[in-house]
């Protein structure tokens, strides 16, 4: 069902709200993660690596980040001693990513900081509203794979 038309859609209000909301979430995460010396973007990469995303290509795909940006982020995480890159024995073109012991240790502290940031982020909502928001966003993303070619 089409909810918008060119006549009624004078500004990208919904898109602006979604973008500003995502930016606010990342700013709050950045503030909570500052004591660990990482950013919200780096947190996302560490989380995916911990869950088995072990190539830059997989990270780019999951986070919709350009490969050059991902390379710079991986360089920073490697300099911080949080990840290690290892050539793939089966495919010399591939590099496998893994958390270092320091990266693993940091990963265990991250959920506490994420929870604090998300609680601050949603403090103006009731528990029912949070559940409804999560449900609506999940519903909107359920068709995501069909949009990506």
Q: For the full predicted model, state whether its pTM sits above 0.85.
A: no
Position 9 scores a pLDDT of 65
DSSP letter, residue 65: -
Position 10 scores a pLDDT of 59
Position 149 scores a pLDDT of 37
Name the nearest CA neighbour of 82 among 119, 114, 39, 112: 39
Domains of the chain, each with CATH number or no CATH: 14-119 (1.10.10.10)
Position 144 scores a pLDDT of 65
The DSSP element (H or E) to which 86 belongs, if any, is strand 83-87
Contacts of 89 (CB under 8 A, 6+ apart): none
Position 108 scores a pLDDT of 87
* Contact indicator for 90, 78 with CB cutoff of 8 Å: no
Position 89 scores a pLDDT of 84
Question: 106-125: string of b/e by CB count within 10 Å (b at 16+)?
Answer: bbeebeebbeebeeebeeee
Residues facing 98 on adjacent strands? 84
Contacts of 125 (CB under 8 A, 6+ apart): 133
Position 147 scores a pLDDT of 47
Instruction: Please state, in angstroms and rounded to a whole number, the distance separating the CA atoms of residues 83 and 77.
Output: 6
Instruction: Please state, in angstroms and rounded to a whole number, the distance separating the CA atoms of residues 101 and 119.
Output: 29
Question: Along the chain (149 residues), what's the average pLDDT of each consecutive run of 10 residues?
Answer: 68 81 96 95 94 89 92 96 91 89 92 95 97 94 61
């Amino acid at each position: 069902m089409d909810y918008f038309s060119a006549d009624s859609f004078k500004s990208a209000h919904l898109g602006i709200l979604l973008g500003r909301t995502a930016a606010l979430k990342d700013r709050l995460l950045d503030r909570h993660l500052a004591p660990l010396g990482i950013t919200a973007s780096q947190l996302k990469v560490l989380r995916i690596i911990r869950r088995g995303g072990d190539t830059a290509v997989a990270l780019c795909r999951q986070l919709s980040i350009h490969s050059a940006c991902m390379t710079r982020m991986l360089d920073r995480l490697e300099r911080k001693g949080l990840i290690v890159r290892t050539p793939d024995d089966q495919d010399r073109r591939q590099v496998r990513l893994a958390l270092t012991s320091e990266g693993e240790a940091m990963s265990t502290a991250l959920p506490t900081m994420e929870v604090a940031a998300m609680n601050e982020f949603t403090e103006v909502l009731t528990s029912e509203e949070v559940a409804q928001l999560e449900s609506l966003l999940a519903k909107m993303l359920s068709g995501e794979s069909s949009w990506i070619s």
